Amino acid sequence: MLLLAIDTSGRLGSIALARGHEDGSCDVIEVVPLAGGTFSAQLVPQVAAFLSKHGFTKYDIDAFAVASGPGSFTGLRVGLAAIKALAEILGKPIAAVSLLEGLALAGVAKGKVCAALDAGRGKVYSGEYELAGDSAQVLREKLLTKEEFVAAARGWQIVTPDAGLVATAETAGLSAMLVEPLSAGAVARVGWRKLRQGQAVSPEQLEANYIRRSDAEIFGAKG
């Protein structure tokens, strides 16, 4: 099964082609970068050129995988809109991949894993998962202050691509593992797992996963 994967969640993005196999494996054919700030101008023509380079057209795509967040509001909207349009035209399934889930699965840790991303302004995107085999059961995903993150992550194996968060965790006496930042290739691999587990979504169901505080939390903090 041929998968097209897109990640436009951050300052830099990427697209990937991958081949999913019935034994559960997923071979990434190629990953190409997308420069941030011009996703809307680059994305569709670069996807077309990417497919052509490998001798494919959009009609050869069997499924899509897309990073659904957390991340840049604008970037996520561009990537999700492109995938929605293609999937609707072609009638193909979509796997929506949380970057936090991808990070949790990218490490070698098992059991209770806390995936973390620097959200800027002293905040942390935190996802807590129970890992078993190649699946991740999400327990919660939240936006926390660094102090809240340190308190919540005690007893968990932390995985993050941010060296600063590793230092923060280790200073607090927590166990943290530095992993490579996710690319569209990793999104494709996690997406293939989700598709095989029957976790596909339709274009109408596809939504961004911004992970922001609720109004109650925001206003409560101000009070």
Per-residue pLDDT reduced to its tens digit, 31-58: 999 876 667 777 888 999 999 999 999 9
pLDDT for the residue 216: 42
> Could you report the per-residue pLDDT of 172-211, keeping only the tens digit for each?
999 999 999 999 999 999 999 999 999 999 999 999 999 8
Residue 106 pLDDT level (bands cut at 50, 70, 90): confident
Listed in sequence order, the residues at least 6 apart from 190 whose beta carbon sits closer than 8 Å to its beta carbon are: 65, 95, 97, 101, 102, 105
Q: 55-64, 93-102, 128-137, 144-153: which has the minimum mean pLDDT?
A: 128-137
Q: Can you name the CATH fold of 2-98+182-196? A: Nucleotidyltransferase; domain 5 (3.30.420)
How confident is the model at residue 94, as a pLDDT? 98
The amino acid present at 124, given as its one-letter code, is: V
- pTM here is 0.89
Q: Do domains 2-98+182-196 and 108-178 have the same CATH topology?
A: yes
The pLDDT value given to residue 38: 63
Residue 107 pLDDT: 67
| pLDDT mean over 104-111 | 80
Q: Which CATH class is domain 108-178?
A: alpha beta
Task: Determine the pLDDT at residue 36.
Answer: 62
Residue 30 has pLDDT above 90, yes or no: yes
Residue 184: C-alpha distances to residues 77, 116, 140, 221 (Å): 16, 18, 23, 36
* 106-127 average pLDDT score: 90
Stronger pLDDT, 38 or 89, i.e. the higher one: 89
Helices 73-90 and 39-53: crossing angle in degrees, nearest 10, is: 40
Mean pLDDT across the chain: 90
Domain ranges in the chain?
A: 2-98+182-196, 108-178
Reported in sequence order, the residue ranges of 63-122 that DSSP labels E, i.e. its strands, are 63-69, 94-98, 111-120
| % of the chain exceeding 90 in pLDDT | 76
Return the closest-CA partner of residue 122 out of 160, 70, 164, 68: 164
What span, in angstroms and rounded, lies between the C-alpha atoms of 94 and 69? Answer: 15
End-to-end CA distance of the chain: 53
Cis geometry, peptide bond prior to residue 203 (ω within 30 degrees of 0): no
